[in-house]
Chain A
Amino acid sequence: MRTTQLILASVALSALAGCASGYDWMRGHPDTAELDAAAKPALDVKVHDGEFAQIQQFVTPGGVSVWLVSEPSIPILAVQMAWKGGSAADPAGLEGLAELVTYNMNEGAGDLDSLGFTTAMEDLNMSFGCTASPEWTSCSVSSLTANAPQAMDLVATAFTAPRFDQGPFERFRREEEVGLKTRETNASYLASRATAQALYPGHPFARETSAESLAGLSTDKAREHMRTLMTKDRLIVTAVGAVTPEELAPLIDKVAAGLPETSTVSPVAPIDLSKASVTQTVVSLPQPQSLVRFIGPGIDRNHPDFFPAFVLNYTFGGGGFESRLMKTLRVEKGLTYGISTALDPNPSLLSWSGGGQTKNESAGEFIAGVKEEMTAFVVSGVTEAELSDAKAYLVGSYPLGFDSNAKIAGQMMTVRQEDLGVDYFDRRNSLIEAVTLEDVNRVSKSYLDPARYSFIVVGEPQGIKAPAPAE
């Protein structure tokens, strides 16, 4: 392990060496000296010198594929790890299992119990945690560069010797038990559940934790499921910080060393919203405002309609005050604090959706207003000026997404997860520039017809049809 280079590379620590009152911090790494001379495995680093980030791609000696942006100006390091496969792969009846696995990842490892592990993280001024989304299991580490070797050592123990103790497991269940109650009055949750039940009932994306599924979970099942979710073959890593590839590679390898080589996670069957029947659903919730969500079929990134739709979305509801929905429903009518729309390019659930909140008394007017605007897009499309404004913003604002280490790490992870290619950042603006008015208005006509959209309302709305019977 070559921690020497990492530590000494930092000006901070060469300064420290002169004033650390005789404390030899190297004692913490007795193997350093011997390995230093021997190990200089030539790391094959491919550098993509892009306009927005210089990305260094390499495979560690242990076989992990890493994308790194070296950024020396702040002495911090952020590492993100992700595996395809998440909570949608929970076995039927064990909903919540992936969440239990990720909850446990920083709850004790090796000799350290939950308190010991958390204390060690605090002593190192680092953070480490994992989460499960429907199709991804992800972990992230933040550390001061000076403490990075020790921080990654601690993270490695979480993968090589996780404890899955009973204490954290029972705490997880207590938290989940409360969560089952509070979600019943959470407007966003109720809207998402109503959407799933109306448009893709029975699909893994419509499954959720329940008292029964929580009762079926155990620490043994979590320990076993961890070996399904986190394997070496599916691991992708991105990092940004004050390190070089040579410094980072051995740290990543230590983390990956304990992972099984491979496992099988069944892919999620894609949902086709264009085949679902359109609905208008009301979920009753006692509060002054109604939350209105609307959702229709989306477009795959590889479809020729995708970039025209992406540009059109700015004028529709993605462009803040420049969108027609904001101009009409907020600025002109004063009906809402905000309304927005977004395209979701996830191939498992392609959607084009939006939402906003308005007082219950104006819910009917709000929905009618959204539908009128959508109809106007179908009938007359957008103007040349609107298209050029949209492109100017989308292209001009792109650098704003690369002004912090955290944003760059996140952007790179998206590119890796969606397999967009290392040159995607450099190609993206020209894909937007290439969109024509004809493209946009073709997409506008075929996708923004309100008849293709389901409306889900949560609150005590007035001016729309009576609520469906409660669940």
Chain B
Amino acid sequence: MKRSLAAGLLALFASSAFAEEAAWAPSTFELSNGMDVVVLPDTRAPVVTHMVWYKVGSSDEAPGKSGIAHLFEHVMFKQTKNIGPEEFTSIVQRSGGQLNAFTSWDYTAYFERVEKSQLGKMMELEAERMVNLIINDDPKGPFISERDVVKEERRQRIDNNPGVILQEKVLSGIWKDHPYEITVIGKMEEVAALTPKDGLDFYKQYYSPENAILVVAGDVTPEEVRTLAEQHYGVIKPTGTASTERKWKPVSPIAETQLLTHSDPKVRQPNWSRYYLGYSQRRQPEQALALDVGLEVLGGGLTSRLYQSLVEKQQLAISANSYALTTLHDEGPAVLTASPAPGISLETLETALMAEVEKVLAEGFTEAEVARARNKLAADAIYARDSQSGMANLFGGWLAIGGTAEQILAYPDDVRDVTPEEAIAAVRAVFGAGNNYIEAHLLPAEGDL
């Protein structure tokens, strides 16, 4: 691989800056019941981030039960054998802790951030709700009101926002007949029909130590974590009920090119997007990395080809980007998107944008712009170390889909190995003229403009 002197020098700067961290390394080990543990030392403040990741997400839901993974995550805060109704949060906050949880297609994670002396208590609480959850089946009780909360959450996140409504439709198209097809929060009518029994069945099947990963980041040693984890989690018996086989499968190519539109009186600025099928870092690690680098050059920032052509030179757009969702277990979309400058039609914008894309596909990238993109992605990995919870999320999310800590540590070097040829090859393979795509037009209501 040939690099310009300046770019090579910067790469070395970044590389050696990371190498300086040689002393910094995560520890990983496994408890006797199969629960994986990751420790990420960070001694800057007397604080720890404690997370339990379960290897279950919305892609594991049974037909007709969309939203159960996420609704169940809410129910985990309700009540256990030894913790009274709504007391879980009270205990954590009384301990000076912050807590929350989140659900994705691939996993569900629960976390507490506390002053370090409280770590053992947090483990005790998470271990308790791993085995002793109580789901109240009163037909007017807390499960039902939590269902209403989730319906409000869906309205707030999706239904209030025309752009997100359109995106939900597009992603369902990209992932047609794949376990990612229905959005994580679920369909409104299916969420409305979920029952306490659905919650209990889900809990019994998926919540067990061998299906979980413990991540602790912060001012703590691996030995301290091991001792506490053996004490609180190590004693829990594996259930063996979580299927070792996830429902993951390669995403099928888009069957046919289609145009989806959404008109809404709230839209005052149209938007144009095209979604292609991209790569995943788990399934196609090299191509996914090359695609990330290539899309950084094509439409990542202000120096990118799309921004410079569409926004700066031709002044047809106020924004123009490309990006890909490569961090799910299975393949995700690679997206071209732009918002027109005042007075410019989506048709004019599309013609100009695709002309620029085709020009890039034909001519390829220069060494210098690829070097800049590589260095940016590698430097981002150093800046990311500033956030303790961000690091815990990075490792937890990657391990929950079967990756390893070593792969994360190797990322800066791997990204620096991407050549211009590899980057353009990945972009060509994804956006090539023969590939189907879903185009999305976000439009004002008729007569509004």
Contacts and interface: CB of A to CB of B under 8 A. Distances in A.
Given A76-B386, A125-B376, A358-B152, A182 B16 contact: no
A134 interface: no
Contacts of B379: 125, 144
B95 interface: yes
A372 to B, nearest CB: 17
A124 B14 CA distance: 10
A171 B382 contact: no
Contacts of B96: 392-393, 395-400
Nearest to B11: A125
Residue among A23, A144, A358 with most chain B CB within 10 A: A144
A471 interface: no
Contacts of B260: none
A74 B382 contact: yes
Interface in A325-370: 327, 330-337, 357-359
A73 B94 contact: no
B87 to A, nearest CB: 10
A379 interface: no
B284 to A, nearest CB: 27
Interface of A: 10-13, 15-16, 19-20, 23, 25, 52, 71, 73-76, 114-115, 118-119, 122-125, 142, 144-147, 167, 170-171, 174-175, 177-178, 181-182, 184-185, 187, 285-289, 319-322, 327, 330-337, 357-359, 389, 392-393, 395-400, 402-406
A136 B310 CA distance: 33
Interface in B8-36: 9-10, 12-14, 16-17, 19-21, 24
Contact of A167 (B24, B97, B269, B312): B312
A118 B304 CA distance: 10
B401 to A, nearest CB: 26
Nearest to A357: B156
A145 B14 CA distance: 10
Nearest to A71: B44
Interface string B37-50: 00000111111000
Contacts of B222: none
A399 B89 contact: no
A147 B145 contact: no
A73 B267 CA distance: 47
A13 B93 contact: no
A436 to B, nearest CB: 19
A337 B149 CA distance: 5
| Smallest CB-CB A-B distances: 5 pairs | A396-B96, A334-B148, A334-B145, A125-B379, A403-B45
Interface in B69-104: 77, 86, 89-90, 93-98
Contacts of B150: 337
Given A123-B372, A393-B94, A399-B46, 4 more contacts: A20-B12, A75-B17, A396-B118, A400-B98
Contact of B268 (A123, A184, A320, A399): A184
Nearest to B385: A74
B148 to A, nearest CB: 3
A436 B265 CA distance: 51
> Most B CB atoms within 10 A — which of A286, A327, A358, A399?
A399
Contacts of A357: 152, 155-156, 160
A334 B144 contact: yes
B93 A178 contact: no
Contacts of A170: 315
26 contacts: A11-B20, A12-B17, A20-B12, A74-B386, A75-B17, A75-B21, A76-B382, A125-B14, A147-B10, A171-B312, A174-B315, A174-B341, A174-B342, A181-B269, A185-B266, A321-B89, A321-B90, A334-B146, A359-B152, A389-B94, A393-B93, A393-B96, A395-B96, A396-B114, A400-B96, A406-B387
A144 B17 contact: yes
Contacts of A187: 160
A181 B89 CA distance: 42
Contacts of B114: 396, 400
A42 B405 CA distance: 46
Nearest to B41: A73
Contact of B372 (A122, A146, A289, A406): A122
Given A75-B20, A330-B149, A287 B160 contact: yes
A90 B25 CA distance: 51
A23 B9 contact: yes
A403 B16 contact: no
A331 B144 CA distance: 10
A122 B155 CA distance: 39
Given A23-B9, A122-B303, A75 B382 contact: yes
Nearest to B375: A125
Contacts of A73: 24, 42-44
**Of B96, B115, B153, B372, most A-chain CB atoms within 10 Å:** B96
Q: Which of B10, B13, B387 has the most CB of A within 10 A?
A: B13
A285 B144 contact: no
A334 B112 CA distance: 24
A359 B93 CA distance: 29
Interface in B125-182: 142, 144-153, 155-156, 159-160
A318 to B, nearest CB: 11
Contacts of B364: none
Given A144-B379, A288-B159, A404-B387, A336 B149 contact: yes
Most B CB contacts (10 A, CB to CB) among A12, A177, A285, A335 go to A12
Contacts of A358: 152
Given A73-B43, A74-B385, A331-B142, A336 B93 contact: no
Contacts of A74: 21, 382, 385-386
